Amino acid sequence: PLAFGIALLAWDEARRRPIKALRDVRRILLGIAPTLLSAACFGGGAILLLSGSLPAIPQRVHQLVHIVPLPFIEASHFAASLVGTGLLLLAPGLYRRLDGASLAARALLVAGAIFSLAKGIDYEEAAVCLTIALLLQMSRRAFYRRTSLVARPLSPAWLFSVAVVIVGTAWIGFFAYKHVDYQEALWWRFALSDDASRFLRAGLGVAVMLAGAGLWRLFLAAPPGETDHPPMAQVLAVVEQAERTDAALALLGDKRFLFSPEGDAFVMYQVRGTSWIAMGDPVGPRAAWADLLWQLRTMADAAQGRLLLYQITPDGLEIAIEMGLQIIKYGEEALIHLSGFALEGGRMRGLRQTLNRFRTRENASFAILPAADVPAILPELKAVSDDWLLEKGHGEKGFSLGRFDPAYLALTDCAVVRVEGRIVAFANIWKSGDRRELSVDLMRHVEDAPGGVMDYLFVELMLWGQRQGYGRFALGLAPLSGVDGRRLGPTWAKIAALVFRHGERFYGFRGLRAYKEKFQPDWAPRYIAGPRGLGLVKALRDLNALIADGGEAN
């Protein structure tokens, strides 16, 4: 009854809206084609191998021997078995919707049909192979995941050169041993004078090596294509209207961009290994977020990649859940509401004393330099930055935080602290377009700067932002902060809590949280969303390498 009801519903839909019904049927068929054709390809390979293991029909062989010579029949029998093995190996690639697997399978199926006819007029096997090849041809759009075989094919000149060498050496070999009668025993002869046997085995080794190289390229994910870098003015126009200041990470020049059709929103990302890593929430109107993230996931899926959303806010969490990604709490961001920021009270006494000390005893001054004035002081900032890097003992990073790049620094205002006229500390400033948020990115000071110089810089900057009417100051993330490793919690939460409590010697997780607590912030959660299982571990490994290498893709 259920099947009958489904058939009646399908017939009624087809009668009422035939074009839409055909589209729906085609969409369904394309959805199930990879699974069915993978099984069919595996079955076709099994048939060819089974045929190679069974004796040929004598009547057909007698008819065939009058058409083609015996060596050709022997070679076709051997080649058909190789084709069958190749189809078995290609079946997983078809299931994974690889375009290279579809292309290679079609070629092997046609070759299998020819070899089936040439080895014993096995037209039944040839018909099966050609039918599967035709179905693959008709459903080729279902195999959309790009592979290196198709995305970066070898150049025609290179292929021609290889073919000339292989065919030329094979012809020379057969010409040199044309007086030798071909026998199966030649494959197994090992003697000083059996040069013909060595030639045959070497030829087989070459064929196996070429086939292995082809299969390797077949399953290798295609490298991400070269993207058109949008003009910085276009990126800057969207960043200046953003609600959050971390949109300014788009100015680093180490990311790719996927823009909305209207051009008023984008998601910034980079590809490392097979991981497509998006930095933060999309930038721009929230109505465009879902389409941008789904489009990015489609691109990653087509490239056999995995999508990782890094440091997303609760606003982007719903979309990540809809995409079926695993959600992990990464940490918490410190946010200071400037309208209520004040240095009165016992809890703010340390910051109040630091401010008074720098203003009175340290002979320090604080200034906000507009972006237009930054190029003139870049040599001084470079000296401060180099001293800071030398003291810390590590190099520049990227992707999720800034680096000392003159082109990048010239796009933002800069807060500087001078002691007796010398710049001892600086931080470049991020601003949201509607003055909702104020933040800093690159924060550096010289080793001999007075103690507490960064506290002084932050307090002065917050007071300045308060006077300018900014809503809040983003003091940055405290990684792994706020993760409860309860007994019934997930494994990742237990590990994160353990690292936060006992990993101080490696990063200073608790110290960073304690430092930011001095400013009495509110804490907002930030998340990572990515694939489940081992895929998430690999994506986090690629993320770490991307940040450590300064945001450079592989």
231-263 tens-digit pLDDT: 888 888 899 889 899 999 999 888 999 999 888
Query: What's the confidence (pLDDT) of residue 139?
Result: 85
State the maximum Cα–Cα separation within the chain, in Å, rounded to a whole number: 109
pLDDT score of 20 more than 80: no
Q: Where do the CATH 3.40.630.30 domains begin and end in the chain?
A: 333-528
Query: What's the confidence (pLDDT) of residue 292?
Result: 93
SS3 per residue for 15-44: HHCHHHHHHHHHHHHHHHHHHHHHHHHHHH
In the chain, the amino acid numbered 267 is V
Question: Cα separation of 403 and 382, whole Å?
Answer: 11
Question: What's the sign of the alpha-carbon dihedral 119, 120, 122, 123?
Answer: positive
Question: Cα separation of 322 and 527, whole Å?
Answer: 15
Q: Which residue has the higher pLDDT, 379 or 182?
A: 379
Residue 63, SS3 per DSSP: helix
The total number of residues shown for the chain amounts to 554
Backbone phi and psi for residue 433, each to the nearest 5 degrees, phi listed first:
-65, -30
Class of domain 232-325: alpha beta
Question: Cα separation of 304 and 402, whole Å?
Answer: 30
Query: What's the confidence (pLDDT) of residue 532?
Result: 87
For residues 334 and 303, is the Cβ–Cβ distance under 8 A? Answer: no
Q: Which residues contact 130 (CB under 8 A, 6 or more apart)?
A: 109, 110, 113
**Could you report the per-residue pLDDT of 394-421, keeping only the tens digit for each?**
778 888 888 899 999 999 999 999 998 8
Q: What distances in angstroms separate CA 104 from CA 79, 216, 390, one per listed residue? A: 15, 12, 54
Query: What's the confidence (pLDDT) of residue 69?
Result: 76
The secondary structure of residue 122, as a DSSP letter, is -
Topology adopted by domain 333-528: Aminopeptidase (3.40.630)
Query: What's the confidence (pLDDT) of residue 33?
Result: 83
Question: Cα separation of 428 and 406, whole Å?
Answer: 11
**C-beta atoms surrounding 463 within 10 Å:** 16
**Mean pLDDT computed over 483-489:** 64
> Of 29, 76, 34, whose CA–CA distance to 52 is shortest?
76
For residues 397 and 438, is the Cβ–Cβ distance under 8 A? Answer: no
Query: What's the confidence (pLDDT) of residue 468?
Result: 93
Rg (CA), the chain: 33
Backbone phi and psi for residue 120, each to the nearest 5 degrees, phi listed first:
175, 25
Query: What's the confidence (pLDDT) of residue 296?
Result: 92
